[in-house]
Amino acid sequence: MEDGELSVAIRENGGRIRAYIARMIGADDEADDLLQETFARALAAKDSFQGESKISTWLYSIATHACLDYLKSARRRRVDLVPPETLIRVTADEEESPHLSAALLIDQARMGECVRGLIGELPPDQRMALLLHDIEGMNLAGLADAVGCSAAAAKVRVHRARKRLRAVLEENCAFGCDDRGVFVCEPKSPDKKPLA
């Protein structure tokens, strides 16, 4: 692979890979360092790229390994998983979302925070599969290339991650409809009854 081709791929995918890293490790302040490490590893290994997958998939694979190394590191300090600043932001800007009310946007943002926070509680391999497949939109073949497994194993990882997330959601959230008919979730608490 030529340096120019790698540079273009890094420019085109850098923002998304950084967001993936931040969600994967749950530490936005460390994401820039791991992004740089990812790019340094890619530069060092550029001659080993065979072109059997997309360059972006190869970069996600390198980022995934950097994240797993970080998560395994004995010197990693305990951080809150998926801090609010790494979440997808919902805006009430009328130009971007003229059909959504501010109240609905707030409800969606809260639900997104809840779900993304609970994704952070999944084991790293399941979190990685869910983030790459469901959040980043990577297909199963790309996921398999990125994590170094078969497509069948990637499918199993995604299935297990979804199943585990569902169990965690059911354990921690109360789901229902509000008076507007909007689907909402609220954290369960011992003295609060689930939404009906």
More confident residue, 90 or 180: 180
pLDDT of residue 95: 40
Count structural domains, the chain. Answer: 2
Domain carrying residue 106: 96-196
For all residues of the chain together, what is the average pLDDT?
Answer: 75
Distance in angstroms (rounded) separating the CA atoms of residues 94 and 10 = 33
- Whether residue 55 is contained in a domain is answered as yes
Q: Is the pLDDT of residue 101 over 80?
A: no
pTM, full prediction = 0.58
Residue 35 confidence class, pLDDT cut points 50, 70, 90 = very high
Q: Is the pLDDT of residue 79 over 50?
A: no
The DSSP output letter for 135 is I
CATH code (residue 58) = 1.10.1740.10
CA distances from 75 to 31, 72, 108, 121, 147 (A): 16, 9, 36, 20, 24
More confident residue, 39 or 184: 39
Render 43-90 in DSSP notation, one character per residue: HHHGGG--SSS-HHHHHHHHHHHHHHHHHH-TTPPP--SS-GGGSPP-
- Whether residues 102 and 127 share a domain: the answer is yes
- Whether residues 67 and 105 share a domain: the answer is no
By the 10 Å C-beta count (0-12 exposed, 13-18 middle, 19+ buried), 192 is classed as exposed
- Whether residues 76 and 124 share a domain: the answer is no
- Whether residue 169 is contained in a domain is answered as yes
Q: Is the pLDDT of residue 74 over 60?
A: no
